[in-house]
Amino acid sequence: MTVWKYGENINTDMLFPGKYTYTCSTAEEIKPHLLEDLDPLFAKNVKEGDLIFAGRNFGCGSSREQPVLGLKAVGIAAVVAGSFARIFYRSSINQGLLLIECPEVVKAYKQGDSVWLDVERGTISIGSNTFSFPKLPKEILAIRDSGGLLPYTREKLRRKKKR
Amino acid sequence: MGMTFAEKILAKYGGEKKVVPGQILTVKPDHLLMHDNAAPIVSKIQPELKEYGIFSKDLPVIVLDHVIPAAAEKNAVQHKQIREFVKKYKIKHFFDVGYGVCHQIIVEKGLALPGTVVLGSDSHTCSYGAIGAFSSGIDRTEAAALLLTGETWLKVPQSIKITLKGQLQRMVTAKDVILFIIGDVSASGADYCSVEFHGNVHRFSVEERFTIANMGVEMGAKNAVFPVDDVTISYLRSIGISKSKYASINPDTDATYDRELTYNLTMIGPVIAVPHSVDKVKPIKEVEGIEIQQCLLGTCTNGRLSDFQIAAKILKGKTVHPNVRLLILPASRKIYLDALKEGLIKTFIEAGGTVLPPGCGPCLGAHQGVLAPGERCLSTSNRNFKGRMGCNEAEIYLASPATVAMSAVHGRITDPRKEVRK
Ligand code: SF4
């Protein structure tokens, strides 16, 4: 498992350049361009279970869900950041990508540290330090538990129709 | 205890008497904005659309603006899919190529009104706070779900109160004000928050308020809003909407804010956001003299009549520097026509400018005016991220229409307060 560490204000153009926004929409089309302008090695070397650590305001900028879809598709286990921009945050709920707002974790991490993520417990450990992150509100957990917003919406529509 | 604008409007839409920040509500917006991205949005839910249909044909507003006229076959195919969707589901509010930028159209056509809620699959949806609407950006998947159900969840945000005091100096504009504020609070300074503008706001026209609200998202805001006053009411009257057509919502005077900030407009001079972040804001004198190769005047931030008026005042009888391409991008067809009538377009063309069709043009880097490595663009748009104008090794500087016009003449970043002929 690799931790990919980046700075503050990582915007959506860095995560997925705007010039592709009307030409790439499937995961396969998106993957090769992930983080293209930020870190050319990322798309080449990222592996399932990897983590991204970053500073404040991760995902700021355009409403662009391709990076979320892409990060989910390559198997990023979670993005841990100081804070997230709100459209990106919603988008991640909608796609079922785990975001963890925990500036202390990002601060504590040094390259080479071992990292352990326990989603069930809501904890993340850096070496011998364990940090807990807050659970999502129940309304939002319901979306995640359904596997994302579209499956959640489908269930909702089906229930409504039955009634 | 009173409520802020966001608390009041979300309480109303969420069916609650009183709400607090952090509370989650189910809300039915009045409109849902989509643009060229309506094609990928609709394609996500083909089977559901077939089975359940759309929630309402009045809810969506679709404006083709991002890559228009189609730059490549792929865009053309998407536009065609959108037109077919519009026909099939009898979508009421559709604006094909040439009407203008979606955000301008929403306001110009009266689709966002004071006291209404509009969500849109575009980050600059926050613009409609200019006329007292609650508006905010969402992603494509959420837009797809809204098409089917007409509702979504919203968290009641904390609110920031920004009070503007004093008067602006000559040649200093709303764009300088909002860039200055973003420079001060940072790109994440208003994350998740509702930003309210108070104080000396009556001196700002709806067009100027639009520029300011438009950039709310550049400091992370969920929405940015101005009070509904005489300026708003007479603007709406001018587009044929009488006061009886809307119920405005203004914050209570005893509302509680997470933060309160005050800016003295008199102290603000022309400023520039330098690469590659909107909050890297500098007074113009620190960047004066930097050579530029392209100037962009327009977009949803600064492509309105008053922006063109101030630029034309500077460009009248002058020529654009031979090393500079000046691109003019009206925010809508109506603005384009008005600018033609006033002779502003003639001034731009005579000065050597190139007028692009009303839409997003080079702003998102997909076509029309993409930059080359090593080039610099001075733009009135709202984002200077690396790669934004299609080239990773180009630089984008953000400024007001006055600064862009003046700099286009000189071929370098130039203070608009210099040598302006009356
Ligand atoms: S003009 Fe630029 S910022 Fe405005 S909607 Fe178009 S691409 Fe977005």
Report pLDDT for B419: 67
Q: How open is the CA angle B70-B372-A9, to the nearest 5 degrees?
A: 85
Give CA–CA dist B381/B351, Å, rounded.
21
Q: Which atom of ligand 1 is nearest to the CA of A62?
A: 8
The reply to whether ligand 1 has any atom less than 6 angstroms from the CB of B412 is no
Rounded to the nearest integer, the mean pLDDT of chain B is 97
The reply to whether ligand 1 has any atom less than 6 angstroms from the CB of B360 is yes
Q: B290: phi > 0 → left, psi -120 to 50 → alpha, else beta; which?
A: beta
Nearest chain A Cα to B193, which residue?
Answer: A86
Give tens-digit pLDDT for A124-159. 999 999 999 988 888 898 998 899 999 999 999 999
Query: Does B421 score more than 60 pLDDT?
Result: no
Chain A residues whose C-beta sits inside 8 Å of any chain B C-beta: 8-9, 11, 13-14, 17-19, 21-23, 25, 37, 56-57, 60-65, 68, 83-87, 90-91, 94-95, 137, 139-140, 148-150, 152-154, 156-157, 161
Residue nearest to atom 4 of ligand 1 (CA): B300
By the 8 A CB rule, do A75 and A47 touch?
yes
Q: How open is the CA angle B194-B21-B182, to the nearest 5 degrees?
A: 25
ipTM of the prediction: 0.93
Interface test with B, best of A6, A13, A20, A156 (most B CBs within 10 A): A13
Alpha carbons within 13 A on the beta-carbon side of B197: 36
Query: Does B320 score more than 70 pLDDT?
Result: yes
Secondary structure of residue B395 in the 3-state scheme: strand
Report pLDDT for B422: 44
The reply to whether ligand 1 has any atom less than 6 angstroms from the CB of B126 is no
Average pLDDT over residues B305-331: 98
What is the B299 CA–ligand 1 centroid distance (Å)? 6
Question: pTM score, two decimals?
Answer: 0.96
Residue nearest to atom 6 of ligand 1 (CA): B360
Domains of chain A from N-terminus onward: 3-162 (3.20.19.10)
What is the B357 CA–ligand 1 centroid distance (Å)? 13
pLDDT band of residue B233 (cuts 50, 70, 90) is very high
Q: Which of residues 272-331 of B touch A (CB under 8 A)?
A: 277, 279
Report pLDDT for A19: 84
Q: Which residues in chain A touch residue B44, judged by CB atoms under 8 angstroms apart?
A: 150
Question: Using CB atoms, which residue from B72, B141, B364 is nearest to A149?
Answer: B141
* Beta strand segments in B44-139, E: 60-63, 93-95, 117-120, 134-137
Distance between A93 CA and the closest CA of chain B, angstroms: 10
Question: Using CB atoms, which residue from B153, B222, B392 is nearest to A37?
Answer: B392
Cβ separation A64–B66 shorter than 8 A: no
Range with the lowest mean pLDDT among A8-22, B21-35, B273-287? A8-22
By the 8 A CB rule, do A8 and A54 touch?
yes
Distance between A128 CA and the closest CA of chain B, angstroms: 31
Give CA–CA dist A152/A132, Å, rounded.
27
Q: Which residues in chain B touch residue A22, judged by CB atoms under 8 angstroms apart?
A: 36-37, 66-67, 74-75, 78, 366
Question: Using CB atoms, which residue from A13, A90, A154 is nearest to B386?
Answer: A13
Give tens-digit pLDDT for B359-414. 999 999 999 999 999 999 999 999 999 999 999 999 999 999 999 999 999 999 99
Query: Does A104 score more than 90 pLDDT?
Result: yes
Cβ separation B66–A85 shorter than 8 A: no
Cβ separation B149–A154 shorter than 8 A: no
Q: Of B237, B395, B205, which is closest to residue B310 (Cα–Cα)?
A: B205
Give CA–CA dist A22/B81, Å, rounded.
13
